[in-house]
Chains A and B, each alone.
Chain A
């Protein structure tokens, strides 16, 4: 050991510390969100789609980005399970415990009867802020497929009447546009509110 080397060692250590500080500062300058987006696990982004809303205007799902969204498939001539589910969703949305900006999108599985005007009158009964979506099967089929749902006409009692069997999953999309979780039509109110919070 001599004086020269003994003096160089702390200097080098000091330089190394400064380099580390600079490096950390540089890393901190990169928004964590951007890092997460670039290198984090790939987000389970909700497949985007454009359909026709209850006002007859094109509506793109990703325009709701920034708000949590619940997607439910159904149809207006469904007397039992669809209104039961929509009534619960309407109550859940009204609850102070639910995120204040949560949105509900109701996608028709029966576009032949669910015109925008029919959807509009129907959703007024539950919550006029619910988005009702319809379109041609050409536009709707890929949406059913991407959301792993399914529909089939079922003849009922008389004449040309039919009911539609359909998937009854609730898909919860977070503010970032990723699918965060799933529920089902017969979840109770508490579960729906919980899921809206959990998956926002």
Chain B
């Protein structure tokens, strides 16, 4: 009995789509890339409920910190920044306090937009997995497992 429960738990954690029991929020298509210090996590956050939710935090046993980030781009055509001539786009990223997941909708964490920045304790390579706990304001904690995909 205990063993089959553990098996069920392992299967549940291993599934790509994760959802806490009875929760309106689920996670699908999570993935990461090989990295030595700083990894990324992209995923789609779904909210089947009728109230908006938001991701307010994340943690992982393989990370010292997991940050909620948003990349942004500024077009700097011919402008000047700090006295330096600058042209073309400039990219940066900022920490965000939360990532909204609209009621009956979804938010996709993807390159150039929202993403999770994972400060790794050790390098991850293709084929590894990153255990991830996501904290939603309403849905609470959701555990998921993020596959590290080869760079291609």
Could you say which of B12-20, B43-51, B65-73, B130-138 contacts chain A?
B65-73
A145 cross-chain contacts in B, Cβ below 8 A: 84-85
- Bound Cα distance A164, B76 (Å): 16
In the complex, which of the residues A77, A80, A161, A184 has the most CB atoms of chain B within 10 Å of its own CB atom? A80
Assess whether B71 is in contact with A80, with CB atoms less than 8 Å apart: yes
A166 within 8 A of B: yes
B117 within 8 A of A: yes
B34 cross-chain contacts in A, Cβ below 8 A: 125
- Bound Cα distance A121, B38 (Å): 13
A185 cross-chain contacts in B, Cβ below 8 A: 89, 91
* Contact indicator per residue, chain B 82-96, by CB within 8 Å of chain A (1) or not (0): 101111111111110
* Contact indicator per residue, chain A 161-199, by CB within 8 Å of chain B (1) or not (0): 101111111000000000000101110000000000000
Shortest distance in angstroms between A171's beta carbon and chain B's nearest beta carbon? 9
* Contact indicator per residue, chain B 13-57, by CB within 8 Å of chain A (1) or not (0): 000000000000000000001111111100000000000000000
A165 touches which of B67, B92, B118 (Cβ 8 Å): B92
In the complex, which of the residues A165, A166, A182, A184 has the most CB atoms of chain B within 10 Å of its own CB atom? A165
Q: Which residue of B lies closest to A145 (CB)?
A: B84
- Bound Cα distance A164, B69 (Å): 13
Q: If A150-B82, A158-B65, A168-B91 touch, does A79 touch B152 (CB 8 Å cutoff)?
A: no
Could you say which of A6-14, A58-66, A82-90 contacts chain B?
A82-90
Q: What does DSSP make chain A's interface, helix, strand, loop or mixed?
A: mixed
A167 cross-chain contacts in B, Cβ below 8 A: 76, 86, 88-90
Assess whether A148 is in contact with B36, with CB atoms less than 8 Å apart: no
Q: If A150-B84, A157-B95 touch, does A168 touch B90 (CB 8 Å cutoff)?
A: yes
- Bound Cα distance A79, B14 (Å): 24
A152 within 8 A of B: yes
Shortest distance in angstroms between B113's beta carbon and chain A's nearest beta carbon? 8
Q: B residues near A, CB below 8 A?
A: 33-40, 65, 67, 69, 71, 73, 76, 81-82, 84-95, 111-112, 115, 117-119, 151-152
Please list 13 pairs of residues, one from A and one from B, whose beta carbons are closer than 8 Å in the complex, sorted by A's number.
A79-B40, A80-B40, A80-B112, A84-B111, A90-B151, A118-B36, A125-B36, A150-B76, A163-B92, A164-B92, A166-B92, A185-B91, A186-B89
Q: A residues near B, CB below 8 A?
A: 76-81, 83-84, 87, 90-91, 118, 121-122, 125-126, 144-145, 148-150, 152, 154, 156-158, 161, 163-169, 182, 184-186
A165-B92, A167-B86, A168-B89 known; 16 other A-B pairs, CB under 8 Å? Answer: A76-B38, A79-B93, A80-B40, A80-B115, A81-B71, A83-B33, A144-B84, A148-B85, A150-B76, A150-B86, A154-B92, A157-B67, A163-B92, A166-B92, A184-B89, A186-B73
